[in-house]
Amino acid sequence: MTTLRPSNARGHANHGWLDSYHTFSFARYYDPAHMGVSNLRVINDDTVMPGQGFGTHGHQDMEIVSYVLDGALEHQDSMGNGSIIRPGDIQRMSAGTGVRHSEYNASKTEPVHFLQIWLVPNREQVAPGYDQKHFPLDARRGRLVLLVSPDGRDGSLSAHQDGLLYGTVLEAGEAVEHPLAAGRRAYVHVARGQVAVNGTPLGSGDGATLDDVAHVHLEGLGHAEVLLFDLP
């Protein structure tokens, strides 16, 4: 069964410096029918204006993944990490017992467009942690690349949660397929472009939950950048 989450049905907040679309309930956007899928709790599609950003704030007991689509995101945290995240980079932060951080647009002239993803941890009160890795977009063309996992397999970033996050880049007519083990479900998020998910067309910002299927089939309907979550 495929359940669609159209981009135009998402929550939306425009603060001037931040234009944000919420796939699931977040901040002032609350919809009890859309509280997440399995341990996937947040997908925020954020565009931050030049020189603006999120001031220092705290998190606890959450696995947070940042995925930059365009521009550059500057990160600083209470663990002593400082970095710039650019397209192709994946950042994972385990909030655990508590961490404070800030996220700013690293450019004074261009916006930064990124996805902020939260996954509920399988263990609480772990020591905070941070990792960042570059996964070249060219290496994802026509294939699924594992970006985040519980154990860091296949060169992925490890996180304290039970999901698998894959990324792919597809051109028109290119296809990839992912098998789903019994008892698992999938969520597909189209970061940009158009793709068919088990035959159903989706566009930029659209998502779909897949239950009781043996595989997820993605076919490009044009240039597309897609995330696939394999979830408990």
Q: What is the pLDDT of residue 101?
A: 86
- Residue-averaged pLDDT of the chain: 96
pTM of the prediction? 0.96
Q: How far apart are CA 115 and CA 47, in angstroms?
A: 9
Q: What is the pLDDT of residue 81?
A: 85
- pLDDT tens for 67-105 read 999 999 999 888 988 899 999 999 999 999 999 988 989
Over residues 17-41, the mean pLDDT reads 97
For the chain, percent of residues with pLDDT exceeding 70: 100
Q: How far apart are CA 46 and CA 116, in angstroms?
A: 7
Q: Which of 198, 188, 205, 189 has its CA nearest to residue 219? A: 198
Q: How far apart are CA 191 and CA 69, in angstroms?
A: 8
Q: Which of 161, 207, 157, 159 has its CA nearest to residue 186? A: 207
State yes or no: pLDDT of 199 exceeds 90.
yes
DSSP state of 182: T
- pLDDT tens for 129-178 read 999 999 999 999 999 999 999 999 999 999 999 999 999 999 999 999 99
With a CB cutoff of 8 Å and minimum separation 6, the contacts of 158 are 92, 131, 148, 149, 150, 151, 152
State yes or no: pLDDT of 126 exceeds 90.
yes
Q: Are residues 179 and 222 in contact, defined by beta-carbon separation less than 8 angstroms?
A: no
Bridge partners for 210 per DSSP: 2, 186
CA 51, distance to chain mean position in Å, is 23
Confidence of residue 109 (pLDDT cuts 50, 70, 90): very high
Q: Which two tokens stand for residue 144?
A: 């699924």
Q: How far apart are CA 100 and CA 75, in angstroms?
A: 11
Give me the domains of the chain, ranges plus CATH numbers: 11-135 (2.60.120.10), 138-231 (2.60.120.10)
State yes or no: pLDDT of 34 exceeds 90.
yes
Q: How far apart are CA 89 and CA 56, in angstroms?
A: 22
Confidence of residue 13 (pLDDT cuts 50, 70, 90): very high
Q: How far apart are CA 120 and CA 100, in angstroms?
A: 18
